């Protein structure tokens, strides 16, 4: 960046008001000096740029009679300054002004008007016309009066250029055009410097805003993590006890009350998960994983989970697959499940008659190694008005906007679906008619696994299914919440396992030294020694010998993005979040047993 632009950039101004700038701030003095040196050498024409105070900023070919005499003596310099100042006044752009100074030399100037403001002049001075003869005796007397060397002063007079008036007109036309060009270029530089400064200010503001947003997001994440943990911990005790009650003998009415309470607990858990998922996606912390999965198992799970809800509402639930659907795909099965479960759950919730249909079709694709699938979830429910369609995918927005609420929910389902579909680089479309129903279309592309990948996946599933140990396990359970401890202990004992419970990590480490166990269930947030510290002590203990490799499952209310990875990196073998479903706990134990047999 050129120096004059740097100076402009550092000034506080607008393009309409730059009164704090000097001409030296605006024009590129060095560039003009080089340009006019060459011009003077070619043409012999003198040239100068002066500011409004009479300061010479650029000068080329300046006459000796001026630089060596007139501008040296205070009296004659005063005459020069008078001429300079006079020439700066009342000259229109594109015109020039001629003036004979009191030193008996001609000066001429044309104004530099920058952004409508007179900032200086292009000046040509100390010359004589060809049609006039200088009064030599007058100049001799002036030399004596002001103490100049008479001989040298008169020699300088002889060197003063003499031009015709036509030549002056030609040169000044050139200089007026040059002045206009310099003025326009300078004003452009001002605007450029202003734009650069505005950009710099904007970047600084964006940086500040970014930091504020990062702090706000961090605070939000910490708040969500803390609130999630504090809600999940007592909710785990509630759901655990309800699951225990559900397995006890009870009257039909009691069973109905228990199931209603379990359903409410699960709804609260689902709401917590939805809020956390939304936060993960918005923070860019949710990652799409890839693994081999079967499309049929996905359809079966939809039927298993939602057929009871559909039956209770006396509506049909159908899953239909089109032709050429690959049996296995590579993609994020968990996120695809989440998308379809949300859509099917919504469809059932808003449908009171007719049915819900889940259809999977394969779209045409030139690449045989990929499958582009269209999933459609259609219902015969209440439908959505066209005016509401563009808002319905926003978080916490529902089709109903009044106090007359007919359907429960936080309005997060479609918002999460939309964000997950975009994260998987897919498309989502909604078609709905009020009173007739809604169809949601999701288009996603998956890789098709090769035969050896499918074979390995099936072998792994078969090994874990066939070789799962049927014997009871001796489990060490570290948990500081008494109700959570009791609920989980009773659930495990009902499965035939022996459970030894301790209330903190230090007791867990000590108990491992004293007894043999098959598995450890480890809470994270505990007094004395937390779960992370306990796992570290176990894994690094030489005294424990082979016991230090015991399978450990984190069973915790921490369920934010990165928590699972953090606990696995700390030495855990698996992770399950609270509130704990009995079936999920059994699956986690099964996964750990499978990993142990494989030597993982």
Tell me the domain boundaries of the chain.
3-202, 287-400+409-450, 467-598
pLDDT band with cut points at 50, 70 and 90 for residue 137 = very high
The most confident of the ranges 89-93, 94-98, 243-247 is 94-98
What is the 3-class SS of 364-383, one letter each residue? CCCCCCEEEEEEEEEECCCC
Tokens representing 199? 């950009």
pLDDT of amino acid 505: 93
| HSE-CB for 295 with a 13 A CA cutoff | 25
Q: Please determine, for residue 400, whether its predicted confidence score (pLDDT) is greater than 70.
A: no
The model's pTM is 0.54
* Chain Cα centroid distance, residue 444: 25
The domain 467-598 is placed in CATH, from the list 3.40.50.300, 3.40.50.1820, 3.40.50.2300, 3.40.50.720, at 3.40.50.2300
Nearest to 572 by CA among 544, 526, 533, 543: 533
Nearest to 292 by CA among 332, 257, 241, 321: 332
pLDDT of amino acid 411: 46
CB 261 within 8 A of CB 288: no
Taking CA atoms, 199 is separated from 5, 379, 594, in Å, by 15, 52, 59
- Per-residue pLDDT of 2-57, as tens digits, reads 555 455 555 554 545 566 777 888 888 888 888 888 888 888 888 888 888 778 88
Average pLDDT for 320-335: 88
Q: Please determine, for residue 485, whether its predicted confidence score (pLDDT) is greater than 60.
A: yes
Average pLDDT for 470-485: 87
Q: Report CA dihedral (581, 285, 525, 240) to the nearest 10 degrees.
A: -10
Backbone angles phi, psi at 320, to 5 degrees: -130, 135
pLDDT of amino acid 402: 40
Nearest to 156 by CA among 70, 81, 56, 46: 70
Identify each DSSP E strand in 418-561 by its residue range. 427-433, 437-447, 474-478, 498-502, 519-522, 552-556
Q: In CATH terms, are 287-400+409-450 and 467-598 the same topology?
A: no
pLDDT of amino acid 404: 35
Average pLDDT for 123-152: 91
Nearest to 217 by CA among 572, 560, 573, 580: 560
pLDDT of amino acid 10: 52
Triad 275, 557, 599: Cα angle to 5°:
115
Tokens representing 338? 């989440």
* Segment among 144-148, 192-196, 321-325, 497-501 with least mean pLDDT: 192-196
pLDDT band with cut points at 50, 70 and 90 for residue 460 = low
CB 519 within 8 A of CB 272: no
Taking the C-alpha atoms of residue 600 and residue 584, their distance in angstroms, rounded to an integer, is: 21
pLDDT of amino acid 401: 46
Backbone angles phi, psi at 277, to 5 degrees: -65, -45
Q: Please determine, for residue 71, whether its predicted confidence score (pLDDT) is greater than 90.
A: no
- Per-residue pLDDT of 155-198, as tens digits, reads 999 999 898 999 989 988 988 898 888 888 888 877 777 788 78
398 vs 415: which has the higher pLDDT: 415
Taking CA atoms, 29 is separated from 38, 56, 197, in Å, by 14, 11, 22
Average pLDDT for 267-283: 70
pLDDT band with cut points at 50, 70 and 90 for residue 397 = very low
pLDDT of amino acid 15: 47
Taking the C-alpha atoms of residue 105 and residue 121, their distance in angstroms, rounded to an integer, is: 18
Which residue blocks in 321-439 are alpha helix, DSSP H? 333-349, 386-389, 413-423
- Identify the DSSP state of 448: P
pLDDT band with cut points at 50, 70 and 90 for residue 477 = very high
pLDDT of amino acid 238: 82
The dotted CATH code for 287-400+409-450 is 3.30.565.10
pLDDT of amino acid 182: 86
| Average of per-residue pLDDT values in the chain | 82
């Amino acid at each position: 960046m050129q120096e004059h632009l740097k100076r402009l950039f550092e000034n506080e101004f607008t393009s309409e008001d730059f009164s704090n700038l000097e001409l030296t701030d605006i024009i590129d003095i060095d560039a003009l000096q080089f340009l006019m040196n060459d011009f003077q050498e070619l043409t012999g024409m003198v040239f100068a740029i002066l500011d409004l105070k009479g300061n010479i900023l650029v000068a080329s070919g300046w006459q000796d009679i001026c630089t060596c005499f007139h501008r040296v003596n205070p009296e004659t310099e005063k005459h020069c300054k008078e001429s300079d100042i006079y020439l700066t006044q009342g000259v229109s752009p594109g015109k020039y002004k001629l003036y004979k100074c009191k030193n008996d030399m001609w000066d001429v100037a044309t104004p530099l008007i920058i952004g409508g403001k007179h900032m200086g002049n292009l000046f040509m001075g100390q010359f004589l016309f060809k049609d006039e003869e200088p009064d030599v005796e007058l100049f001799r007397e002036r030399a004596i009066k002001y103490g100049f060397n008479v001989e040298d002063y008169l020699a300088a007079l002889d060197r003063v250029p003499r031009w015709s008036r036509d030549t002056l007109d030609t040169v000044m036309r050139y200089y007026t055009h040059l002045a206009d060009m310099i003025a326009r270029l300078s004003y452009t530089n001002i605007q450029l410097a202003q734009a650069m400064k505005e950009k710099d200010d904007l970047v600084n503001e964006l940086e500040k805003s970014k930091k504020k947003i990062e702090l706000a997001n961090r605070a939000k994440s910490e708040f969500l993590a803390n609130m999630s943990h504090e809600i999940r911990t007592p909710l785990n005790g509630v759901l655990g006890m309800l699951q225990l009650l559900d397995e006890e003998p009870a009257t039909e009415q009691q069973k109905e009350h228990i199931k209603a309470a379990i359903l409410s607990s699960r709804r609260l858990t689902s709401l917590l998960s939805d809020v956390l998922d939304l936060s993960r996606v918005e923070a860019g912390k949710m990652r799409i994983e890839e693994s081999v999965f079967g499309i049929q198992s996905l359809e079966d799970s939809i039927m298993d989970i939602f057929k009871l809800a559909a039956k209770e509402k006396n509506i049909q639930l159908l899953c239909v697959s089109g032709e050429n659907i690959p049996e296995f795909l590579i993609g994020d099965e968990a996120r695809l499940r989440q998308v379809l479960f949300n859509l099917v759950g919504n469809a059932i919730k808003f449908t009171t008659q007719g049915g819900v249909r889940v259809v999977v079709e394969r779209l045409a694709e030139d690449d045989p190694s990929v499958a582009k699938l269209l999933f459609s979830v259609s219902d015969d429910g209440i439908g959505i008005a066209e005016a509401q369609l563009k808002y319905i995918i926003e978080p916490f927005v529902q089709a109903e906007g009044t106090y007359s609420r007919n359907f429960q929910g936080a309005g997060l389902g479609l918002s999460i679906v939309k964000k997950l579909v975009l994260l998987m680089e897919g498309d989502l479309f909604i078609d709905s008619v009020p009173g007739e129903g809604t169809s949601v279309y999701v288009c996603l592309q998956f890789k098709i696994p090769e035969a050896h990948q499918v074979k390995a996946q099936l072998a792994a599933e078969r090994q874990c299914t066939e070789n799962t140990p049927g014997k009871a396990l001796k489990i060490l359970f570290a948990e500081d919440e008494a109700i959570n401890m009791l609920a989980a202990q009773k659930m495990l004992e009902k499965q035939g396992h022996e459970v030894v419970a301790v209330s903190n990590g230090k007791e867990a480490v000590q108990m491992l030294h004293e007894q043999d166990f098959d598995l450890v269930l480890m809470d994270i947030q505990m007094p004395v020694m937390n779960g992370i510290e306990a796992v570290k002590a176990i894994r690094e203990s030489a005294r424990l010998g082979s016991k230090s490799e015991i399978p450990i499952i984190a069973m915790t209310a921490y369920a934010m993005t990165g928590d699972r990875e953090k606990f696995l990196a700390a030495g855990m073998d698996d992770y399950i979040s609270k509130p704990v479903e009995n079936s999920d706990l059994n699956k986690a134990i099964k996964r750990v047993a499978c990993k142990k047999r494989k030597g993982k």
